[in-house]
Amino acid sequence: MQLHQLTAHEMHDLLINKELSSEELNNHIFDRIEAVEDKIKAYLTLTKEGALERARSVDGQIQSGERIGPLAGIPVAVKDNICTKGIRTTAGSKILSNFIPPYNATVVEKLAAAGATIVGKTNLDEFAMGSSTENSAFIATKNPWDTGCVPGGSSGGSAAAVCAGEAALALGSDTGGSIRQPASFCGVVGMKPTYGAVSRYGLIAFASSLDQIGPFARDVTDCALLLGVISGHDPRDSTSAGYKVPDYTTFLNNNVRGLKIGVPEEFMAQGISPEVRAAVERAMSLYESLGAAVEYTTLPHTEYALPTYYIIAPAEASSNLARYDGVRYGFRAAEVADVVDMFMKSRSQGFGPEVKRRIMLGTYALSAGYYDAYYLKALKVRTLIKQDFDRAFEKYDLLLSPTSPTPAFRFGDKVDDPFQMYLSDICTISVNLAGIPGISLPCGFVGQMPVGLQLMGKYFDEGTLLRAAYTFEQNTDYHKEFPKI
């Protein structure tokens, strides 16, 4: 097994045993990027000089006998809608193509404090709006398992980078499934934490009541390590929760005996491919054989999740994206007649088609005469969806479903049909509407393409999700598979 195929915790062991230096490790990752990046196109910006400087600093700590943390010297990729001081941050959009933030996001500060090396900024659907990474203004990231297929979205670059061995770990953001769905498509582990568990300070906003930053990893142990580093209260984020962050690695027990697992019928219904259903049913049987109680349940308002999401998210996006006016920062149209013309041309030329579509949807839903009929009603239905989960968690420790109704689809298959593209997130958006945590992990293959299993948990009960995911992982080998690129 080559270095880039190792997990972060395996890399850490090599570092502390002085079998490998962090500089050697990071140079190997950059060699890997050079070898496969022209096929995968995971990155928008690479930060080799800064990464190697940090790696040498970690090597100095090790040589002087200091005890280093589990992420020190480990190569991490960061989604390009997370601000990095002095490093271009585009959100995948032409309108921010020349934006260099003057500050770091809180999660980036936490990575730095943990000693991690940031190797680059990964590609995404523009402003995180999409399910395939085809909406990026710059490049289309490819799925490492089949470069004719999409990697999922919007965090497709982060998922592909971890899958292809171009980073040991990565950060993404999840507004309606944008970590879990690409994790499923690329056969890696991806987690959306409880809303408020990870600071959103420095995350370029899409829909503020739904967005959440979370980890990508090769296995559940790495996911737990990265989650522990980035979680915690941040006074700079008014939605950040004040809670004591546990050591998530203490939940990594190969034991689900006594756990009660509910399987929402609505997530296994029409639209789920037979092969995906079969893979998820095998996972259900495995959990039963390991001592968990697994049964079908119902979340009756699930049928309203998609329309609810596509009113709330565009409404918040239309408000958040009003700041991109060509005046203060970002792209400005060159030839304009007056200030109004500048606003119009800057926005029409700077935003891509999907972003414009969602701004128009959101502006309409918030407009006079339609606010009550659409936005206010959607907020009420959101409450009903949350209450469905509340009732389910009175009986079950966690819920189980497919992450996505299908494996990764081919480029171009859905790009001209927005509704079919939106259906890619049918299993994930309810989790964001309710604010609960969810994790995707590999549970099988359809042909050569991975299938993701989604586990959903109670508020701030990421530990139970990690325990159940770790147990599944310890009793299967799907996470050990590596694509041939």
User: 309 in helix, strand or coil?
Assistant: helix
Contacts of 154 (CB under 8 A, 6+ apart): 92, 124, 125, 128, 129, 130, 131, 133, 135, 172, 173, 175, 178, 182
Element of type H or E holding 381? helix 377-395
404 is catalytic: no
Give the span between the Cα atoms of 243 and 40, in whole angstroms: 39
Q: What is the DSSP letter of 213?
A: E
How do 293-297 and 398-402 pair as beta strands?
A: unpaired
How do 189-192 and 438-446 pair as beta strands?
A: antiparallel
> Which residue out of 131, 132, 136, 154 is catalytically annotated?
154
| Lookup: tokens for 380 | 């009420």
79 is catalytic: yes
Among residues 429, 436, 388, 465, which one has the least CA distance to residue 195? 436
User: 315 in helix, strand or coil?
Assistant: helix
Give the span between the Cα atoms of 299 and 265, in whole angstroms: 8
Strand partners, 418: none
> Which residue out of 79, 110, 121, 142 is catalytically annotated?
79
Number of residues in the chain: 485
64 cis-preceded (ω within 30 degrees of 0): no
154 is catalytic: yes
Q: Rounded to a whole number, what is the largest CA-CA distance in the chain?
A: 71
Give the DSSP letter string of 63-121. Answer: HTTPPPPTTTT-EEEEETTB-BTTB---TT-GGGTT---SS--HHHHHHHHTT-EEEEE
> Which residue out of 131, 132, 178, 346 is catalytically annotated?
178
Beta strands in 260-417 (DSSP E): 260-264, 293-297, 398-402
In SS3 terms, 154-177 reads as CCHHHHHHHHCCCCCEEEEECCCC
The catalytic site residues sit at 79, 154, 178
